[in-house]
Structures are given as C-alpha cells and as structure tokens.
Structure 1
Amino acid sequence: MLETGFMEPNNVKRPELDDRPSWNEYFMELTSVVAKRSTCLRRNVGAILVKERRVLATGYNGAPSGLGHCAEVGCIRETHEVPSGERHELCRGLHAEQNAIIQAALHGTSIDGAILYCTHQPCVLCAKMIINAGVKRIVFAGSYPDELSTNMLKEAGVELTEFSK
C-alpha cells in the first residue's frame, strides 16, 4: 500500500536498481540535454555544476542574454575560417562552462568544491574561470586539443576525468 492509502497496481513495473544510471552517467546525460539549447553554429556544448549529487547550475554555449544568436546574425569565426580552439575573442558567444558559473553567481550559489560535468573538455579560458571558482573536479565526454588548459587544471589540482560509459 502506498503512503497515500491507495493500493499500488500489480502491473506497475518497478525499475531494477541495476538498470539505474550511475551518478556520472546521470549527470553526463543531463549535459547532453542542456547542450540541445546551444545556439552555436560550430559546437553544441552543455555543462552542469554539481555538489553533493545536486545540480547547482547549468549552462550551454551561445550569445549573451538578449543578443542575437549566431544562427540569426552569423558567425564571425566561420566567416573568417578561424580554426577550432583559436581566437576565442572573436566569438560573440559564451561557453557552456562560463554560463554555468555565471548562473550560479547570479543566483548566489557557491560552487566552491563542486564538480563540473561537461560534454567537452574545457578550453583554457574556461579552465581559468573554473580554477578561480573553486571547482575541484571536471568530468567531460569529448576531448578538446588544448594542452595549456590541461596543464593549468592539473597544476591547480583540479581532477580531470574523461567519461566513458
């Protein structure tokens, strides 16, 4: 009998505990859903900040609030054929990691000691923000060719874990 006093139907299928995703799988699946909100023409990235198995903030890459999306106004980096990982300052968008950190700050949520889950490995710009924000661990799915980012995160003691299911 359920706490509400109603009998539970016999045909209700209860999930086996073995069928449940691990916490890392669960949070990485959430990053993929968040990435679907991305408005970037080149790469759809999603990030979530987690502490004590609770989601603190989410972020995806795209133009700042209230500004036209790249799909509407075009992409300077595409127009000038700027290679991936170079000349970040030419992009009108924010990265998913930056947006997650900003959202936490806007809502007064401390992310010190948090874990960042992200669809991609952070670039050096995001790595610097992640270090100063106090994030202690990053779990990412897709690697990103940014040796400086990796070196800085390691030097700062931020654990980098490439996710594999």
Structure 2
Amino acid sequence: MGRVRLLSSYQRPSWDTYFIKMACLTASRATCPRRRVGAVLVRDQRVLATGYNGSVRGAPHCDDVGCLIAKQGERESCVRTVHAELNAILHCALNGVSSAGATLYCTDFPCLGCAKALVQAGIEKIIYLSEYPDVHSFSLLRESGIALFKAVEDGQGGYRLVSPPRSCT
C-alpha cells in the first residue's frame, strides 16, 4: 500500500494563527454592525469558549432593528450589545468552565469594561489583531500582569506575535 503524497506547499498553521483565524470567523457571527468582534478563550491549545458582539438573550439584534446608542463617558456604546470578550467569559461561567490561566485571542483590543472582566476572570495572556484607542484598558491590563501581544500578518498566510509599546496613546 502506497503513501499519499501531500502538497509540498502546505504549511500547518501555528496555534496562534489557528486561534486568531478562529476569532475572525467567530466575529462573522456578530450582530452589531458598529463593531464586529470575535473572541476565543483557550487553555493548553483547547478552546474553552467563544464569543462575539451580540444582543443579550431574547433581545432583537442590531442587524435587524438598528443600534441603540448611548453615551458612556467620552464614548458612544450600543446598549443592546454584549462584547465578544465578555460573552466568552460568560459562556465559560454558564458551562462551569474556569477561565483562570487562559489566553484570549481577539479581533480587537479590549475596551476598559472588558479589560476589567478579563482581569477578574484570571486571563493570563491577550493576543489581538486591531488596536482600540483606550489608554485606560491598556494600562489596567499591563498593571495586572496580563501578557499582551499584537498578531501581525507574516506575509505567508499566518501571524506572528509582537509586543505592543510600553504605553498606549
């Protein structure tokens, strides 16, 4: 019996690439058009939970009825939407799964509210694709000892991790 020869151009994705792409796919389920964010909580290369920006259970989706916007401090926020990161943490809690020691892969850097929840949930590392201009969430996560890495495209269909600057402006 002969062996099947695989294409030599195939490259198995790294775990970081795999989970960042999973976060991007999860973001495609988001129901708030203002920001489509996906999050994946992982420990020991195993998915604990996923989350995306979406309405609370039983509420209409922003995609269907429009966003309900309210001012929160300096920013405007959608009232109906639970953020991706918080949804992932809540799915862990709902299913009795500890998020302590987990890594969060997320399409966007967490806002301040999500940053607080991530610290309290025991997240040890955050890997994100896009910046979110919030100096307070960046500082809080740094001060809490959570490792932060930005995923940047490596030019070969994958991602490599880089440390963000010491402060965010």
Give the TM-score of the pair, scaled to structure 2: 0.83
Larger Rg over CA atoms: 1
The partner residue of 1:107 within 95, 107, 115 is 95
Give the TM-score of the pair, scaled to structure 1: 0.85
The partner residue of 1:63 within 55, 68, 72 is 55
The offset of 1:125, in angstroms, is: 0.3
Question: What runs of 5+ residues in structure 2 fail to find an aligned partner?
Answer: 153-158, 160-169
User: Matched residue of 2:81: which SS?
Assistant: coil
Which structure has greater strand proportion?
2
**8 Å contact kept, 2:59–2:80:** no
Residues of 2 paired with 1:26 and 1:16: CA distance? 20
User: Matched residue of 1:151: which SS?
Assistant: helix
Matched with 1:123 is: 111
Aligned residue type for 1:104: C
The offset of 1:74, in angstroms, is: 1.5
User: Matched residue of 1:19: which SS?
Assistant: coil
Matched with 2:22 is: 30
Residues of 2 paired with 1:127 and 1:48: CA distance? 15
Residues of 1 paired with 2:10 and 2:90: CA distance? 36
User: Matched residue of 2:75: which SS?
Assistant: coil
Question: What runs of 5+ residues in structure 1 fail to find an aligned partner?
Answer: 1-6
CA RMSD after TM alignment: 2.1
Question: Segments of 4+ in structure 1 off by > 4 A?
Answer: 15-18
Residues of 1 paired with 2:10 and 2:19: CA distance? 17
Which structure has greater helix proportion?
1
Provide the identity percentage: 44
Deviations 1:66-101 (A, max 9, x none): 210012221122xx7x69x7143x521100001000
Residues of 2 paired with 1:16 and 1:95: CA distance? 41
Matched with 1:3 is: none
User: Matched residue of 2:55: which SS?
Assistant: coil
